[in-house]
């Protein structure tokens, strides 16, 4: 796309001296391995005391984190603080804890790591992709674990989807999910600074708010 639209894979960022090189190969970062380099005292994620340990880490390092505090949210906050800002050039992030990816399969060699990757450019997520979990019993267990996070106050966590698990029992073949933020890709290729410049109707709002 970059070659067809801009004639080059090297694109300057608006209002910056930095250029993004979309030519291969892209960098790769194992998120937990890199995170432990920044935070050596990071606890074992599945340990019972991981939540208070993570809260203590963020407090000591003066990293603000919005409530509610759950293990997935605090891990995401640490990744966003220490790793994502360094992903200016195209970078694949992989090795996410399975607890952060409830709809994803785990890697075959380690059940605690999700079969998932993200693509970041200029510190922003462009792609999120993973292998779909097709084990109904395991999916039910993951939904139950998510329900505990919702009980802890994280209302962004969806309610357990029993109908989806029932459908899985009918049989889902190996499936992969891949999602791209088209607006962010368009902004990058068009070399514009704001996403509103890539959206057809950026300033529309409900009539009762006018």
Tell me the per-residue pLDDT of 142-200, one tens digit each, with 9 for 90 and over.
Answer: 888 777 777 777 777 778 888 988 888 888 888 888 999 999 999 999 888 888 888 87
Query: In this structure, what DSSP letter does residue 42 have?
Result: P
* Domain total of the chain: 1
Torsion sign over Cα 97, 102, 106, 110: positive
Please report, for the domain that includes residue 128, its CATH number. Answer: 3.30.930.10
Q: Within a domain: residue 64?
A: yes
Q: Within a domain: residue 150?
A: no
Q: Within a domain: residue 106?
A: yes
Among the residue ranges 23-37, 86-100, 139-153, the one predicted with the least confidence is 139-153
Provide the mean pLDDT of the chain: 88
Q: Within a domain: residue 142?
A: no
Angle, CA of 110, 79 and 196, to the nearest 5°:
125
Residue 202 pLDDT class (50, 70, 90 cuts) = low
Q: Within a domain: residue 158?
A: no
DSSP SS3 for 27: strand
Q: Which residue has the tokens 């890199």?
A: 34
Residue 203 pLDDT class (50, 70, 90 cuts) = low
Average pLDDT of 67-96? 95
Instruction: State the pTM of this model.
Output: 0.83
Going by C-alpha positions, the residue among 174, 150, 142, 145 that lies closest to residue 68 is 150
Q: Residue 111: its pLDDT value, please?
A: 67
Going by C-alpha positions, the residue among 52, 55, 130, 56 that lies closest to residue 98 is 130
Q: Residue 192: its pLDDT value, please?
A: 87
Among the residue ranges 57-66, 131-140, 157-166, the one predicted with the least confidence is 157-166
Q: Within a domain: residue 115?
A: yes
In this structure, what token pair is assigned to residue 73? 């949210």
Q: Within a domain: residue 46?
A: yes
80 lies in which domain range?
2-132+175-199
The Cα–Cα gap between 82 and 63 comes to: 10
Q: Residue 78: its pLDDT value, please?
A: 97
Max Cα–Cα distance, the chain, nearest Å: 55
Q: Within a domain: residue 180?
A: yes
Query: In this structure, what DSSP letter does residue 130 have?
Result: E
The Cα–Cα gap between 33 and 83 comes to: 11
Q: Residue 109: its pLDDT value, please?
A: 65
pLDDT tens-digit map of 103-130: 899 886 666 899 999 999 999 999 999 9
Q: Return all residues near 18 (Cβ < 8 A) that are at least 6 apart.
A: 12, 88
Going by C-alpha positions, the residue among 107, 113, 114, 148 that lies closest to residue 129 is 114
Residue pair 72/149 in contact (Cβ under 8 Å)? The answer is: yes
Query: In this structure, what DSSP letter does residue 159 have?
Result: P
């Amino acid at each position: 796309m970059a070659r067809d639209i801009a004639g080059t894979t090297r694109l300057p960022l608006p209002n910056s001296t930095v250029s993004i090189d979309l030519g291969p190969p892209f960098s790769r970062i194992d998120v937990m391995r890199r995170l432990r380099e920044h935070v050596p005292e990071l606890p074992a994620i599945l340990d019972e005391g991981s939540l208070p340990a993570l809260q203590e880490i963020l407090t000591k390092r003066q990293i603000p984190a919005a409530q509610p505090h759950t293990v997935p949210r605090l891990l995401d906050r640490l990744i966003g603080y220490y790793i994502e800002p360094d992903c200016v050039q195209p970078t694949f992030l992989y090795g996410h804890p399975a607890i952060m990816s409830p709809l994803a399969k785990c890697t075959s060699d380690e059940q605690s790591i999700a079969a998932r990757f993200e693509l970041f450019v200029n510190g922003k997520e462009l792609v999120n992709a993973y292998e779909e979990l097709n084990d109904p019993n395991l999916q039910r267990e993951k939904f139950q674990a998510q329900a505990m996070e919702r009980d802890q106050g994280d209302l962004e966590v969806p309610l357990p989807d029993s109908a989806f698990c029932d459908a899985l029992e009918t049989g889902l073949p190996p499936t992969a999910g891949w999602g791209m933020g088209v607006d962010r890709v368009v902004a990058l290729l068009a070399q514009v600074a704001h996403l509103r410049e890539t959206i057809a109707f950026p300033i529309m709002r409900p009539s009762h708010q006018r």
